[in-house]
Structures are given as C-alpha cells and as structure tokens.
Structure 1
C-alpha cells in the first residue's frame, strides 16, 4: 500500500494568474512603445505623462500580485512546512537568476543604463522581506501606508550611491528599469493585506463566478503562470519583430 499524498490547502487561483497575465500584456504594450521611441525615433514620451502613469500601474500590479502570491503560498503549504520552504528557496533562486541575467544583459547592451535594481530585483527582495509580515494579516494595510510615507521621506534625503536601491537616489542616476524598495515595498504589503483578508485560511471570502475555462481567461492564466520566462524573452522578440517590419532601423539600434 502506498502512502497518500497530502494535497495543498489552496490550489492556484485563476483570478491571480489572470491578473498577472493582464499585467504582462500591458507591459508588452509599454515596452513596445519604449522600443519605438528609443530605437526607432518615434515621438513617444514614454517616461512622462500618461505613459509614465501606465508604467507605474503595470509595476504596481506585478508587485500587488507578488504580495498576494506570498500569502497564497503560505496557505497552500500550511501543513507541509518542508515543501513550503523548498518552494521559497526555488522561487528565490529563479528570481535571483532572472534578475542577475537582466543586470548582465543590460550592462552588455548599455553600461550607463544597466539595471541594478529593477522590477525583478524588487520583487525578489520584497517577497523575502514580506515573509515576517504575514503574521500581521490585515494590519499590513497600515504597514503599506508606512512604507509609502517612508518612501516620501527618503526622497527628501541626499542621494547615496550605495543605498540607491532603498530610495536614496543620486542625482543623475539612470537605468532602463529602476524601482526602489521604498515606497514600492508598500504595494507588496498592500497585496499581503488584501490576500490575508480575501483568502483567509486558503479560501475566498466570497465565491466568484468560475470563468477559469473561458478562452480569454485561459490565455491570461497561461501568460500569468509563465510570466517570468516571458519577461526575459519578450524584449528581444519585440525588437526583432520591429526590425523585421521596418519600424526600427538596425543601424540606429546598433549605434
């Protein structure tokens, strides 16, 4: 007789994967506009105005979902602590490797714009820092507000080249992607607070219509489940596509 396998308390939530997939699609749109502006000479102000708000909204969605995922992982393996910590280690290694690859590639492409603390670096560090906050449940709404306040406070202090990742950004600092820990860690804590309230004990507070098998939702779920790998490959594919259809001049790209 074989021993029965204890299943996790909570399976993947289709709405969480779909939200992450939607954020990925929005990111592809933004990065497409960025590539056309940076390498194609298109007059798109991707770093200001509505485009800047769009980018901040995308980053906020990814960070919010990261906070939710930290809670769901704990609930999923609540009765299997060894599997839970193996999950934490594997996720940390995956994110760390992906973040390191982004740093290496951007340094090779354009050293002045190297990504030293972008969205992946932030999600990696924030997911680990959020672990001790899980015990506070909905009180994380207050901690999220505190992180936002500290972010504002830190922005008033002089920059520091060694603590730029915290929010002490030196004047003239540039990067393809930069999201300091403060105030953005607050968005992760907001996700932790919402998930603690909505998914208490691994169950939804209220039932949702089951749209998980609808074609659109299935597509978004697939994107959400594979968002890390897709994040790493989408920019080269986008640029190659724009070059192929003549929207980006290779000479401008290489120059």
Structure 2
C-alpha cells in the first residue's frame, strides 16, 4: 500500500486526536526531561554544564515556546470543533485553572526544596493563564492572533533587560534584581507564542479538521510512543522532577 493511499484527508473523524501534534509534543517532552536532568546535575554539583549559559537557555526557551505554541494550537482546534452556544469559556477556564493550580504546586515544592531559585511564574502558570487570555482570539480572523502574538513577542524581548527592585511585575516580564528562578515564562513575550498557535490552528486546522493531506503514520510504534508522551505531557511534567531528584538521592549522588 502506498503512502498516498493511507493519507488522511481533512474531512475524516473530526473528534480524533491529530497524531502529528501529539508526536511533536512528545518530542518536546523528551527534550524537557533531558534539560531538567542536566539542570539537576548542575544544581547538585554533578555536572560542569552551565545550564544558565546562552546556549542552554536558548535550548530551554525553545522547549517552552513550543509547548506554549502547541497549547494555543490545541485550544483553537478544541474550540473550533465545539458546537456554537456550548459553555466553551467555562470549560477552558476549568482547564486553565487546573493547570495554573499545578503551577502553584510547583511554586510551593520549589520554594521548599530550592528556595534560592524557586519558581514564581513558570511554564504552567503561563499556560494556565494563556488558556483564558487566548480564548477570544479563537473566533477572530487569524491575522489578529498573528499580529498581536508577534507584537507581544517583540515587546517581551525588548523589556528582557529591564530590572526593578520589587517582584510584583515578574508575571508580566519585568524581573527583580538579584532573583534567580529555575523556571520563568512571563506573559511577555511567551503568551505571544500561544497566539501564534491559535493563528496556526485557524489556518491549518479550519473548523477543527486537518486542512492538509498527511499520511496516517500515527500507529507506527515510534510515533505511537511519542504520541502517548505528548498526550500525557501534564502528568509527566509534574512527576518527572521528583523522580529524577529522588533517583539522585537514592543513588547517593545528591544531598540537601
């Protein structure tokens, strides 16, 4: 059977998950676990790899921005599939508050175990809030999501070097002097990537359907494994750090 014969056309099974989105998210999950493993090794003095160097930070930011882009894309697809008049905002608000609440648990855990670099506004805080802020853009022409998203990204990078003496603007993107954070994804610029995802959803998945032809490779074992990781990214995010750190302590490699 040729690839063309196994291609999925836009009109089929609009409720199914799209394997390509889950697979990309699965790749990003693996990269996230790798980066956090290296961060832990550096934090406990087990590696000389400076995870705060420009190259490592670019690697980390590419992971976070891809996660956030995919969040906007998935939000758009869900809402385009939903029937008119459904309780869309309430549903997304519940999702967003759940994710934000998980972010607060990360804040508490990192405050207890790494108080010199605890998470104030990390990727989960951003994504929980982004689900609420991006919601109105789903029904607007994609031009607006693209324009506002690019503007927020540009503005966020423009204020990246602005520091103040108080912490209240940290969620917005203005940092406090002499404060280190293990995970920091403020609204500016990173919410802009969620809006780019919304624009991509409107352009490439109109009405919540795949708007292009793609081979049905989702059942291939490697892609199926990646898809499983991608469809379970939140629980993996929550448990992978305790597992890694617990393993380091169990092996006697890390100490408080």
- Give the alignment's TM-score, normalised by structure 2: 0.87
Inter-partner Cα distance in structure 2 for 1:68 and 1:217: 19
Counterpart check, 1:152 vs 2:167:
no
Inter-partner Cα distance in structure 2 for 1:62 and 1:202: 19
Does the 8 Å CA contact 1:10/1:75 hold for their aligned counterparts? Answer: no
1:126 aligned partner: 130
2:107 aligned partner: 103
Counterpart check, 1:22 vs 2:9:
no
Shift of 1:138: 2.0
Query: Aligned to 2:171, what secondary structure does the other structure show?
Result: helix
Structure 2: give runs of 5+ residues left out of the alignment.
1-12
- Number of residue pairs matched by the alignment: 242
1:45 aligned partner: 50
Inter-partner Cα distance in structure 2 for 1:144 and 1:170: 25
1:4 aligned partner: none
2:243 aligned partner: 237
Shift of 1:211: 0.9
Of residues 171, 174, 181 in structure 1, which corresponds to 2:187?
Answer: 181
Inter-partner Cα distance in structure 1 for 2:51 and 2:14: 43
Q: Alpha carbon RMSD of aligned pairs, Å?
A: 1.9
Query: Aligned to 1:179, what secondary structure does the other structure show?
Result: coil
Structure 1: give runs of 5+ residues left out of the alignment.
1-7
Counterpart check, 1:88 vs 2:85:
no
Which deviations, in whole Å up to 9, do the C-alpha atoms of 1:44-85 show, x marking residues without a partner?
111113221111111111011011011011022234613x34
More helix as a share of residues: 1
Query: Aligned to 1:164, what secondary structure does the other structure show?
Result: coil
Which deviations, in whole Å up to 9, do the C-alpha atoms of 1:94-121 show, x marking residues without a partner?
2022111101111111333221100000
Does the 8 Å CA contact 2:14/2:81 hold for their aligned counterparts? Answer: yes
Which deviations, in whole Å up to 9, do the C-alpha atoms of 1:109-146 show, x marking residues without a partner?
13332211000001111121111122333212211111
After superposition, where does 1:49-60 map in structure 2 within 5 Å?
A: 49-60=54-65
Of residues 11, 14, 19 in structure 1, which corresponds to 2:16?
Answer: 11
- Give the alignment's TM-score, normalised by structure 1: 0.88
1:32 aligned partner: 37
Inter-partner Cα distance in structure 1 for 2:226 and 2:90: 27
